[in-house]
Structure 1
């Protein structure tokens, strides 16, 4: 596992210790990109010709801009903020044979989700993310992570009108995700993040997610890092079961809950790498470096520094862009300061805490 992680260490890293910094995925889109989308979709009454070529160029410009913004913040592993994507299920459903859309569904408050239906056997019809990865990888000077919505969430957040059970649909989708992951690996991707927000809200199905991950991870080379992001829910319902998953890293949202659930991961020895949210994706204020440093150190209660990754709690797309950038910049600064303190022996690590000690 350490060898998989070391490939993401920058060659000019300033400290002996290395705590990997990254982001979960989504990031605020530039305002001009949203206007470009409206022009392309005809939502604006403007005497402007904005065709598909213009729209593709706008997305490419935004992808390059945000990738460079992530690098400017100092992140070790970057993404492009998912500039080409709209919503984490809808984007993939549009590219999978067997799905259809029948209009938006109200999910909470005044928020609507274009929830798709599975009306026939799902099939892999076109590549989903390979072009996106290749573009970002060419634009970036640092390693690139690829977030991809997992099969269980793709199934759980859709209407199943074809398969006998949601479990059957999940396994069918897992085979498709495996095909995409294999193509990403062939294209050079070495860090894949499977997003399964539905997992911790439907705890009885953790075995289904485990089987799906086994299908996804089959034939994936050992030098490819596989992470699982579960951004909210009751983690006690899925831990320690997730330790059996074929993943390198488990990514959790704990900052928003003031780390109240951190003890869950000390009840049994945590044998994976921990990706810990250290800034709150739901609060439109930039946390000071001093506060983020304390959050980073909370991770040492579960894993040693060489197995800790730090990131925001979740995607940052709902925040003002300047706030999102400030969080990333301070997160990196805090992490580098903690590494320097570790080098100097100023951090008392001890052994990771165990609730039954």
Structure 2
């Protein structure tokens, strides 16, 4: 497999893109659900007359609405906001043989997580995301990205009652994730994001994550873009080792920490694409365009413009929906203005430009 990220990136440049420079804009994954969808799920649990068919129709409608919302905000690559998913581990555990649920576990404060247990050998029971992708791709006019929870997080955030070690469980799950990604690619998906939020909180296991990713990426087509989303934690404990992972892009949460960890990625050259969090998913206010533009410029300290993706820090599902939309809209406006300023030579790219020998060159130079 080739890991030339530029080769996989240019396919997402819109045909009518008006500038030479191109900052790919997307979102991490989750998005606030319409209140009526939450009510539909309650009715499904409360009343026999509100059938599976009724719920699926509501989910379909929500996927159309949110996909359209992402397109109206101007994103280059959209997702459906994970309207069919409840939680990033639970959703998949319900679809994997070998898992069972025994009730919610308190994780912090008054928050509970329905933490599953692995009680037998894990096996691929049914497709996870293919139908979701196909529906969204039909509803969208722009390219669609699919986020999928990675095998290390699926293992780390579960009780292991069947395997000799968490490492062994993670490798077994990696083979299942590989199977699902093969099916997604077969269905036409060209951009897949693997979510491993557990990685930066358990950095000693980065070699396990690397082996999992090797298993996942083993036979993926060269033109399919693979990203890895890592949030929370101390990135200095996994950098630069993570650059060895077989992915094109790292999606990192940095805005929430006011970019205090940015220098970590300038100590040794960042050799992959960077999807930089430029709006904070944890604050219920819309950052002004000028603030977001300054955040985008911070990314040029790490990678040159042709390797920067512009994204929120993390999933937006916990925010009010109007705030989430405002963040996306301003994020896209900021990216487009930065592109124009790069074309005009008004922005000097810092450390990353020096490393690449490219101070502000168009993406196709």
1:312 aligns with 2:304: no
Q: 1:231 corresponds to which residue?
A: 231
1:118-150 deviation line (CA, Å, top 9, x unaligned): 000000010000000000000000000000000
Secondary structure of the structure 1 residue equivalent to 2:87: coil
Q: Which runs of 4+ in 1 moved over 2 A?
A: none
1:163-182 deviation line (CA, Å, top 9, x unaligned): 00000000000000000000
Distance 1:293 1:229 in 2: 22
1:104 aligns with 2:104: yes
Q: 2:166 corresponds to which residue?
A: 166
Q: 1:73 corresponds to which residue?
A: 73
- What TM-score do you get using the length of structure 1 for normalisation? 0.97
1:232-290 deviation line (CA, Å, top 9, x unaligned): 11000100011100000001000000000000001111000000000000000000000
Q: 2:17 corresponds to which residue?
A: 13
Matches within 5 A, 1:253-332: 253-332=253-332
Is this contact kept in 1: 2:167–2:208, CA < 8 A?
A: yes
Matches within 5 A, 1:108-257: 108-257=108-257
Distance 2:337 2:223 in 1: 29
Aligned positions, number: 351
Is this contact kept in 1: 2:266–2:351, CA < 8 A?
A: no
1:29 aligns with 2:33: yes
Distance 1:139 1:6 in 2: 22
**Pairwise CA RMSD:** 1.2
Instruction: Classify 1:351/1:261 alpha carbon distance in 2 versus 1 (closer, same or farther; 3 Å).
Output: closer
Uncovered stretches (5+) of structure 1, i.e. residues with no partner: none
Displacement of 1:3 in angstroms is: 1.8
Displacement of 1:353 in angstroms is: 7.9
Displacement of 1:293 in angstroms is: 0.2
Is this contact kept in 1: 2:178–2:216, CA < 8 A?
A: yes
Secondary structure of the structure 2 residue equivalent to 1:221: coil
Secondary structure of the structure 1 residue equivalent to 2:22: coil
Uncovered stretches (5+) of structure 2, i.e. residues with no partner: 356-365
